Amino acid sequence: MSSLILFIAVITVLFFLLEMAPGDPIQTLVGDVPLSEAFRAQITAAYGLDKPVWERYVLYLGNVFTGNLGFSFGTNNEPVLDLILSRAGNTLALAVPAFLISTIGGIILGSIAARTRKRWLDGGISGGAVALFSVPNFWFGMLLIMVFSIWLGWFPTQGKSPYGQPGIGFEYLVLPVITMATSELAYKTRIMRSSMIESLGQDFVDTARSKGLSSSHLLWRHALPNALLPMVTVSGYSLGYILAGSVLVERVFGWPGMGLLFIDAINRQNNMVILGVVIVLTVVIILVNILTDVVYGLVDPRLRAQFSPQRTLPPEGRQDRQSDEVAA
Partner 1 sequence: MTQQETHMVPPPETDTPAPPDGAGSPPPARPDAPAGAAGRRRPPGTERSPWRVFLRKPSTLVFLPLLGLFVLIAALGPLLVGDPSATGNAELLAPSAAHPLGTDHLGRDYLARVVNGGQISLLVGFTVAVLCMTIGLVVGGLAGYHGGWMDTLMVKLAEFFQVLPGIVLALVAAALLGANVFIIVAILSITMWPAVARIVRAEAMRISQLGYVESARAAGFRSVRIIWSDVLPNALPPVLVATSMTVGRAILIESGLAYLGIGDPSHPSWGALLNSAQAYMRDGWWLAVAPGLCIFLVVLAVNMLGDALNDAYNPTVGRVK
**Does 251 participate in binding partner 1 (rule CB under 8 A)?**
yes
CA distance 215 to 202: 15
* Closest approach of partner 1 to the CB of residue 324, in Å: 26
Which of 195, 226, 235, 322 lies at the binding interface for partner 1 (CB under 8 A)?
195
**Looking only at residues 108 through 147 of this chain, which bind partner 1 when binding is defined by CB under 8 A?**
117, 130-131, 133-136, 138-139, 142-143, 145-146
Distances in whole angstroms, Cα of residue 305 to Cα of each of 85, 297, 298, 319: 41, 10, 10, 14
Total residues contacting partner 1 by CB under 8 A comes to 57
| Dihedral sign, Cα of residue 253, residue 258, residue 259, residue 264 | positive
Which of 30, 92, 112, 266 lies at the binding interface for partner 1 (CB under 8 A)?
266
Give the range of 61-69, 94-102, 160-168, 233-241 binding partner 1 by CB under 8 A.
233-241
Q: Is the separation of the CB atoms in 158 and 251 below 8 Å?
A: no
Neighbours of 289 (CB within 10 A): 16
| Dihedral sign, Cα of residue 71, residue 77, residue 82, residue 88 | negative
* Closest approach of partner 1 to the CB of residue 102, in Å: 15
Which of 94, 95, 234, 273 lies at the binding interface for partner 1 (CB under 8 A)?
234
Q: Is the separation of the CB atoms in 146 and 139 below 8 Å?
A: no
Residue 257 phi, psi dihedral angles, 5° rounding: -115, -165
Which amino acid is present at 180? M
Give the range of 81-89, 105-113, 243-251, 304-312 binding partner 1 by CB under 8 A.
243-251
**Looking only at residues 10 through 39 of this chain, which bind partner 1 when binding is defined by CB under 8 A?**
10, 14, 17-18, 20-22
Which of 68, 194, 207, 292 lies at the binding interface for partner 1 (CB under 8 A)?
194
**Does 95 participate in binding partner 1 (rule CB under 8 A)?**
no
Q: H-helix or E-strand containing 170? A: helix 170-200
CA distance 174 to 302: 40
Neighbours of 117 (CB within 10 A): 14
Paired strand residues for 79: 71
Binding site for partner 1 (CB under 8 A): 2, 6, 9-10, 14, 17-18, 20-22, 117, 130-131, 133-136, 138-139, 142-143, 145-146, 150, 190-191, 194-195, 197-198, 200-201, 206, 230, 233-234, 237, 240-241, 243-245, 247-248, 251-252, 262-263, 266-267, 274, 278, 281-282, 285-286, 289
